[in-house]
């Protein structure tokens, strides 16, 4: 596969998903970056912005098996991972896989479930396997978790602990569409568009799950110079010394920034990373890994503000391709 072929496939994927998710090109691009980088994505936004629709459309276009878990306060860990059930005919216990045994998992409103249920996803997200009763079972490949949460509601929710947030490769913020985009959305509804019946939209499957695994492996060929490795290290290190940050990003953040930068370079048709790849993805990769001082939060500071300051202060390398 050539860089141009890789970029063309990614362009086709974006086009198909963009047919049903209007005005969210940046979100689509970042989600695709996360998929290619073999990571998981947390999407935050109020209800009704198309988060669930994007996952369903993406699964169709990628040719992957998708399942959905609606997280609720009474959801148990076994409802996610599955468990052993006694088979009366065979007079023995058999393992019944839970919905986590899929390729693309939508964890809808993940912060509505208690910590023990949220933790059921930790092993699956980190090791791509599930352990039950002393037996470890691998998950299908590719495996990708896309979780959503509502930033407005706090009643009946359980904030994700830092350990679980760190498992997400990226955190994306979905905002309301512009008036022009919302009018186009309404025009599509007038023409008969139904988000619950994607089969009638005519979305084309661009690749298969096997092709996606190959594309994920292809990223290992994307070149990264020592100067850019220093740049990534410098950015992440500066988050730890920022005056408003109580706890900065861990080395997992550095690895995530490297992986996503390679994915973005490949999507742009390049076989090498440039500083703009790193700068563009730094907010999405690092915003959920920073814990701010209470005084800074009281003054209105945000993780994105801190990352912007870090990017302005870090020396950008002049790297030739």
CATH number for the domain that contains residue 306: 1.10.8.80
Residues 186 and 70 in one domain: yes
Note the pLDDT of residue 93: 83
- Burial of 232 by CB count in 10 Å (0-12 exposed, 13-18 middle, 19+ buried)? buried
Distances (CA, A) of 140 to 116, 137, 227, 310: 23, 10, 36, 38
Q: How far apart are CA 142 and CA 217, in angstroms?
A: 11
* Contact criterion met (CB below 8 Å) for 58 and 107: no
Look at residue 254 and tell me if it is in a domain.
yes
Look at residue 153 and tell me if it is in a domain.
yes
Residues 168 and 22 in one domain: yes
For residues 248, 254, 260, 262, the Cα torsion angle rounded to the nearest 10 degrees is: 150
Residue 207's Cβ-side half-sphere holds a number of Cα atoms within 13 Å equal to 23
* Contact criterion met (CB below 8 Å) for 236 and 286: yes
The CATH number given to whatever domain includes residue 159 is 3.40.50.300
Measured from the Cβ of residue 53, the count of other Cβ atoms closer than 10 Å reads: 16
Look at residue 148 and tell me if it is in a domain.
yes
How many structural domains does the chain have? 2
Closest CA to 291 of 249, 251, 246, 241: 246
Residues 197 and 255 in one domain: no
Note the pLDDT of residue 40: 93
Q: Give ∠ CA 233-235-240 in degrees, rounded to 5.
A: 95
Q: Write out the chain's pLDDT in tens, 321 residues.
A: 888 999 999 999 999 998 888 888 889 999 999 999 999 999 988 777 777 888 888 888 998 888 999 988 888 988 899 888 878 888 888 888 889 999 999 998 888 888 888 888 888 888 899 887 788 889 999 999 999 888 776 666 777 878 788 889 999 988 888 899 889 889 988 988 877 777 777 888 999 989 999 999 999 999 999 999 999 999 999 999 888 888 888 999 999 999 999 999 999 999 999 999 999 999 999 999 998 888 888 888 889 999 999 999 999 998 654
Measured from the Cβ of residue 11, the count of other Cβ atoms closer than 10 Å reads: 14
Residues 162 and 303 in one domain: no
Residues 122 and 58 in one domain: yes
pTM assigned to the model? 0.88
- Burial of 111 by CB count in 10 Å (0-12 exposed, 13-18 middle, 19+ buried)? buried
Note the pLDDT of residue 283: 95
Residues 167 and 244 in one domain: no
Question: Which tokens hold the place of 16?
Answer: 């198909």
Residue 179's domain comprises 3-209
Residues 164 and 294 in one domain: no
Look at residue 138 and tell me if it is in a domain.
yes
Note the pLDDT of residue 167: 87
Look at residue 72 and tell me if it is in a domain.
yes
């Amino acid at each position: 596969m050539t860089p141009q072929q890789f970029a063309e496939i990614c362009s086709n994927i974006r086009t198909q998903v963009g047919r049903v998710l209007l005005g969210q090109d940046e979100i689509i691009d970042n989600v695709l970056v996360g998929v290619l980088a073999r990571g998981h994505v947390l999407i935050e936004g109020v209800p009704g912005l198309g988060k669930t629709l994007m996952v369903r459309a993406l699964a169709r276009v990628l040719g992957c098996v998708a399942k959905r878990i609606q997280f609720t306060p009474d959801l148990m860990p076994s409802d996610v991972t599955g468990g052993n059930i006694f088979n009366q005919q065979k007079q023995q216990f058999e393992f019944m896989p839970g919905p986590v045994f899929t390729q693309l998992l939508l964890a809808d409103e993940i912060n509505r479930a208690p910590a023990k249920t949220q933790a059921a996803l930790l092993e699956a997200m980190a090791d791509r396997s599930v352990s039950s009763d002393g037996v470890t079972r691998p998950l299908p490949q590719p495996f990708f978790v896309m979780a959503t949460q509502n930033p407005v509601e706090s009643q009946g929710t359980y904030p994700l602990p830092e350990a679980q947030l760190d498992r997400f490769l990226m955190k994306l913020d979905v905002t309301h569409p512009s008036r022009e985009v919302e009018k186009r959305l309404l025009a599509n509804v007038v023409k008969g568009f139904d988000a619950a019946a994607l089969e009638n939209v005519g979305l084309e499957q661009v690749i298969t799950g096997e092709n996606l695994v190959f594309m994920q492996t292809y990223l290992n060929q994307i070149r990264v110079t020592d100067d850019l490795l220093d740049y990534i290290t410098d950015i992440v290190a500066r988050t730890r010394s920022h005056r408003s940050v109580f706890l900065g990003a861990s080395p997992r953040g550095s690895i995530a920034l490297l992986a996503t930068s390679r994915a973005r370079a490949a999507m742009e048709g390049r076989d090498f990373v440039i500083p703009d790849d790193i700068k563009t993805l730094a907010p999405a990769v690092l915003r959920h890994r920073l814990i701010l001082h209470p005084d800074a939060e009281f003054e209105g500071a945000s993780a994105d503000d801190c990352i912007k300051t870090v990017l302005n202060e870090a020396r950008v390398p002049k790297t030739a391709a």
